[in-house]
């Protein structure tokens, strides 16, 4: 954006210099004609060139006097814009507030313009949607990310996380989940799967039972009873798990009864609920969990920065542009929304402008007054200076023609009248 503004400023400076050169060359040409007229005694050319020089110099003085003192000489009533900057600002503020910010004029313009439809048309244009998206991803989002303090975010997330966890009754949630599971066929299947898994693991880790038995028997038994004890423990556990894996077994019924009893106790017992909640909170306050929570923000921030670095291929930018276009399309498709937006602009926003028009005028006035005097002259000359050079060019040409006309009238009077 700034590069574009600099390019525009550079082009305006080139245009201004070009027009100044043209006006100066034309004035110089009038001087050359004046010399030629005097050398060759050409009275009509002398009259033309004299008047052209007078007109050109006079208009040069008038144009320069608007912005600065001609030749740096502090001639009275020159450098008009710098010397009257404060008055210009005050008059401009009053002019805007009194002539433009009137309800009658603004209401007519707003009704004719149809702000909602014009805005939605503008947003629907892919080029405009991408322009807004670019502004957001290049300026707004990076600015927000730089402004946010990482430590403050971490502290905020931790505080919010702990506060929300402290207000939740996890025991009640667990009870509801288990109750829902117990009433469905999935509970039976889940218990069966768990028991079958235990049977498989029992087979795979039979050696652990054997090692435990060996470490528990007296050393003077010389391991004679270890094998029998191991087989007895293993077979007992295996039989228990196998019996429990059948749905109609007494062991399975006991497991189901214990589960339902646990659910009811979990729902009714304040003490058990407190224990479950404390267990969850203790887990959440572990350093590993806290480090994970802290890392979430950094991961999000890194992911956003990496996506924005892709420029035109940024998924965030594409999503924003798509949302902008969808918003514009949604406005056009909703006639009630169009009516509401136009009503808001026409009444609410217009009322704000009208009620604060004096403040707006004062803002314009104070802003102009705060500008640097030389800077104001340079900016205005850059904006309108090129057009003002036509005054110098026209003054030179018109002055010469008027001088030639006066010379012709003078000749007629001398030859035919006097």
Position 3 scores a pLDDT of 53
- End-to-end Cα separation, the chain, in angstroms: 71
Average pLDDT along the chain: 81
Is the predicted pLDDT of residue 183 greater than 60, yes or no? yes
Mean per-residue pLDDT, 3-22: 80
pLDDT recorded at residue 223: 52
pLDDT, position 222 = 46
Give me the mean pLDDT over the 287-300 stretch. 76
- Of the pLDDT bands very low, low, confident and very high (cuts 50, 70, 90), residue 90 is confident
Task: Return phi, psi of residue 245, to 5°.
Answer: -75, -15
pLDDT, residue 103, reads: 78
Whether the CB-CB separation of 132 and 328 falls below 8 Å is answered with no
Residue 2 has pLDDT above 60, yes or no: no
pLDDT (average), residues 104-126: 83
Please report the pLDDT score of residue 395 as a whole number.
92
Q: Given this model, what pLDDT does residue 335 score?
A: 86
pLDDT confidence of residue 6 = 67
pLDDT of residue 398: 94
Tell me the average pLDDT across 126-134. Answer: 89
Residues 6+ apart with CB under 8 A from 31: 49, 53
* Confidence check: pLDDT of 192 > 50: yes
Weakest mean pLDDT among 51-65, 68-82, 106-120, 128-142? 106-120
What is the model's pLDDT at position 35?
A: 94
Compute the distance between CA of residue 404 and CA of residue 45 in angstroms, rounded to an integer. Answer: 8
Q: CA-to-CA distance for 266 and 174, rounded, in angstroms?
A: 8
Q: Let me know: does 116 contact 341? Beta carbons within 8 Å.
A: yes
Least confident segment among 27-36, 112-121, 157-166: 157-166
Beta carbons of 229 and 264 less than 8 angstroms apart: no
Q: Assess whether pLDDT exceeds 50 at residue 221.
A: no
Which pLDDT score, from 0 to 100, does residue 401 have?
93
| CB-CB contact of 298 with 150 (8 Å) | yes
**Could you tell me the two tokens for 314?**
């940024």
pLDDT per residue as tens digits for the range 223-243: 555 677 777 777 777 787 777
pLDDT higher than 80, residue 39:
yes
Percent residues over pLDDT 70 in the chain:
91
Per residue in 45-61, pLDDT (tens digit) is: 999 999 999 999 999 99
Question: In the 8-state DSSP scheme, what is residue 332?
Answer: H
- Both tokens of residue 328? 């514009």
Which range among 212-221, 359-368, 373-382 shows the weakest confidence by mean pLDDT?
Answer: 212-221
Mean pLDDT in residue range 353-373: 83
Report residue 406's pLDDT band, with 50, 70 and 90 as the boundaries. very high
pLDDT reported for residue 220: 42
Does residue 216 surpass a pLDDT of 70? no
pLDDT of residue 54: 95
Place of tokens 């009208």: 354
- pLDDT at residue 25, rounded to an integer: 95
């Amino acid at each position: 954006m700034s590069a574009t503004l600099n390019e525009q400023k550079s082009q305006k400076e080139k245009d201004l210099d070009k027009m100044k050169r043209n006006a100066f060359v034309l004035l110089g040409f009038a001087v050359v004609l004046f010399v030629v007229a005097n050398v060759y005694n050409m009275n009509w050319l002398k009259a033309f060139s004299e008047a052209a020089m007078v007109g050109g110099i006079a208009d040069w003085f008038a144009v320069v006097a608007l912005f600065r003192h001609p030749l740096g000489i502090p001639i009275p009533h020159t450098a008009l814009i710098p010397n009257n900057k404060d008055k210009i600002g005050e008059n401009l503020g009053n002019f805007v507030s009194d002539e433009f910010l009137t309800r009658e004029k603004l209401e007519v313009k707003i009704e004719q313009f149809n702000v909602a439809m014009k805005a939605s048309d503008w947003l629907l244009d892919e080029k405009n949607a991408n322009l807004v998206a670019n502004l957001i991803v290049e300026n707004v989002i990076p600015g927000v990310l730089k402004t946010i303090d990482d430590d403050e975010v971490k502290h905020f997330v931790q505080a919010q996380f702990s506060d929300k966890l402290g207000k939740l009754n996890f025991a009640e949630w667990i009870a509801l989940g288990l109750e829902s599971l117990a009433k469905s066929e999935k509970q039976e299947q889940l218990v069966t799967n768990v028991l079958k898994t235990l049977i498989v693991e029992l087979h795979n880790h039979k050696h652990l039972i054997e090692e435990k038995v060996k470490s528990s028997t007296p050393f003077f038994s010389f391991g004679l009873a270890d094998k029998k004890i191991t087989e007895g423990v293993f077979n007992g556990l295996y039989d228990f798990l196998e019996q429990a894996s059948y749905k109609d077994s007494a062991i399975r019924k006991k497991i189901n009864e214990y589960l339902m009893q646990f659910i009811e106790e979990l729902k009714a017992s304040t003490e058990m609920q407190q224990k479950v909640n404390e267990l969850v909170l203790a887990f959440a306050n572990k350093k590993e969990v806290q480090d994970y929570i802290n890392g979430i923000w950094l991961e999000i921030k890194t992911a956003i920065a990496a996506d924005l670095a892709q420029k035109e291929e940024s998924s965030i930018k594409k999503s924003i542009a798509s949302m902008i276009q969808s918003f514009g399309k949604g406005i056009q498709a909703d006639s009630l929304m169009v009516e509401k937006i136009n009503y808001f602009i026409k009444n609410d926003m217009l009322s704000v402008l009208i009620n604060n028009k004096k403040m707006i005028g004062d803002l314009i006035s104070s802003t102009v007054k705060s500008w640097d005097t030389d800077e104001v002259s340079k900016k205005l000359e850059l904006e309108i200076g090129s057009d003002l050079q036509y005054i110098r060019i026209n003054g030179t040409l018109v002055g010469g023609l008027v001088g030639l006309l006066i010379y012709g009238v003078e000749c007629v009077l001398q030859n035919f009248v006097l």
